[in-house]
Amino acid sequence: MTGQPRVRIAPSPTGEPHVGTAYIALINRAFAKSQNGKFILRIEDTDQTRSTAASEQAIFDSLKWLGLTWDEGPDVGGPYGPYRQSERTEIYQRYAQILLEKGLAYKCFCTKEDLAALREKQEKEKKPAQGYFAQDSPCRKLTPEQIKEKEAKGEPYVIRLKVPDENPDALITFYDHTRKKEISRKYSEIDDQVLLKTDGFPTYHLANVIDDHLMGITHVLRGEEWIVSTPKHILLYNAFGWEAPKFYHLSLLRNPDKNKSKISKRKNPVSLRWFRAAGYVPDALLNFLALMGYSRSAEGKTKEEISSMELFSMDELIHEFIPGRISTTGPAFDYNKLDAINDAYTQKMTIEEFCAYKDERLKYLMEYLGPLAVETKNRFRRLNKEIDDITGFFFKLRLSYDCDEFNKIKMPPAEILSMFKTLKKTFKDKALLLNNPADFHECINEISERCGYSSKSIHMAIRIAASGEGESLPLYESLALLGVYRCISRFDDAGEALEKHIKERKEK
RNA sequence: GGCCUGUUGGUCUAGCGGUCUAGGACGCCGCCCUCUCACGGCGGAAACCAGGGGUUCGAAUCCCCUACAGGCUACCA
């Protein structure tokens, strides 16, 4: 051991690159660099049904855009590769086999139905511990002959960890360095987790523990959602006879609404590609994210220094980083404050930097717009026109509706209102099916036919709700880029604005 | 339901037993600067430190209980 820390982030390449990934990456990188350590990127693509190469590329691009570069990873290599879990399946299988041989894991032939039945039974009995554990596990009791028989028949199986059950009330404990305290769980509360799936791929738990050990990870800084499963991981480290890394759990970014639930695309933009296309300066986004997870000390600072201490660069963060100052409370993601910080950064720029940034952003914006790029370009008369007059609606959180626009829909206001409601409901129901422009096209036609809305009216209504105006970029492509969830909230907003408008007119 | 975690103004936070009649930032309001807006400057409203019990000469700070919020409870990570 050299004494230099090695940390990692391990994003899954599913869907859009998430701000949460950048947030965790930022803390990890600051931690590593402040101690002259290494920051590693590992791709956790063990979920074969959801992982895509495009998503992986988007993670690379987005993190690089933010300057969150890594020392080792799938694209740059390193001494502990491969850094993509899908390329390490034999390793996991080998280690699962070791556990099997040691008698610390077992093959489980239960089907989905078996598990559902088990769960139902447990619920009926109101057992405090649910899940697949010890005496509830039929496959634990299988004799070697029975196992052989099932295997010969070709029954699919998973490999599960055999959680020690001699002493169910004993505690399994680890130290959380962020919360600065021990956290523990009873053995009886931990189920016999699946280690290797039927398809031969590992679950997160197995792959994560093996990789962290094999890659020499010394400190694990990850999201708070992992706290409860950390004891499972400790169990695995014990089973292998390995020393566990030190754990730091980072509080989750939250939606800025009343309840502060985990930040999600259903409620707000979370894609790093969105932030980039929206025109945020990378250093500003970084600074803002750092504020969410880390707070600087005011000690020894003058009044003036205190009033500007929220503004700092990645380098400054690295130089003064103190792990003990990582926050433990879940911060609401305040888009408003992000804007303020972004303003501060643009003000610090020179004209040259500003132009370079605008150019870079414009290029990226066109890429982001995809099929709409040409349409956007064609709407310019002269190059001095502001691009955001045309594309701004993609990047505003809330639109303000000019109520005269609604007059362009040739329908009575009350009917428009109910149309917005129908649209909202249908989009919500079909949310998972609405991805491409064609999906939106089909869906809108369906509603139009089903409810007897004229094609012209429904399209105009959607156009106004989505873009805030009666003239805009081609509709279906726009909706696809906006994403279903933001469309839904815009139907809400537009409906609300219209309702207010109707009320005001009545009062007059 | 069970388990785990968190709780200082609307939001992000400083604070680690007396210096707190709780400081800063964002947002909000007002004034000044000014041809407008933005920037900047000044000022203001906004937190009885979730609530209740302890411990202590003394608690936002330590302990306990309750409430609320979040997370997890998948062959997803």
Collect all residues with Cβ–Cβ distance below 8 Å to A200 and sequence separation of at least 6.
A89, A93
Q: Which residue has the tokens 């949460």?
A: A20
DSSP bridge pairs for A43: A84
Asked if A261 CB < 7 A from strand B, the reply is: yes
Residue at minimum CA to C1' distance from nucleotide B4: A228
Over range A396-405, report the average pLDDT: 87
A182 CA vs B17 C1’ separation (Å): 24
Residue with the larger pLDDT of the pair A465 and A140: A465
Which residue of the set A265, A267, A337, A428 is catalytic?
A265
How far is it, in rounded angstroms, from Cα A469 to Cα A278? 19
Q: Using the predicted structure, report yes or no on whether residue A11 has a pLDDT greater than 90.
A: yes
- CB atoms under 10 Å from CB of A158, counted, come to 21
A62 neighbors A20 (Cβ within 8 angstroms): no
Nucleotides of B under 7 A from a protein CB: 1-8, 10-16, 23-27, 39-40, 69-77
- Cβ neighbour number for residue A28 with a 10 Å cutoff: 26
- Least confidently predicted of A18-27, A123-132, A427-436: A123-132
* A120: its two tokens: 């139902």
Strand B: which of residues 219-248 in chain A lie with Cβ below 7 A?
224-229
A49-60: pLDDT as tens digits: 899 999 999 999
Look up A180 and say whether it is catalytic: no
CA of A118 to C1' of B56 (A): 53
What does the pLDDT average to over A443-450? Answer: 94
- Our measurement of CA A118 to C1' B38, in angstroms, reads 65
Q: pLDDT at position A1, please? A: 45
The answer to whether strand B lies under 7 Å from the CB of residue A67 is no
Query: What pTM, to 2 d.p., does this model score?
Result: 0.93
pLDDT digits (tens, 9 = 90+) for A85-139: 999 999 999 999 999 999 999 999 988 888 887 777 777 766 655 566 666 778 8
| Residue A328: φ, ψ to 5° | -115, -10
CA distances from A491 to A17, A51, A73, A507 (A): 26, 31, 42, 24
CA–C1' span, A184 to B57, in Å?
38
Taking the C1' atom of every nucleotide in all shown strands and the CA of A231, the nearest one is: B4
Q: What is d(CA A221, CA A223) in angstroms, rounded to the nearest whole number?
A: 7
Q: Of the given ranges (A68-72, A120-124, A417-421), which has the lowest mean pLDDT?
A: A120-124
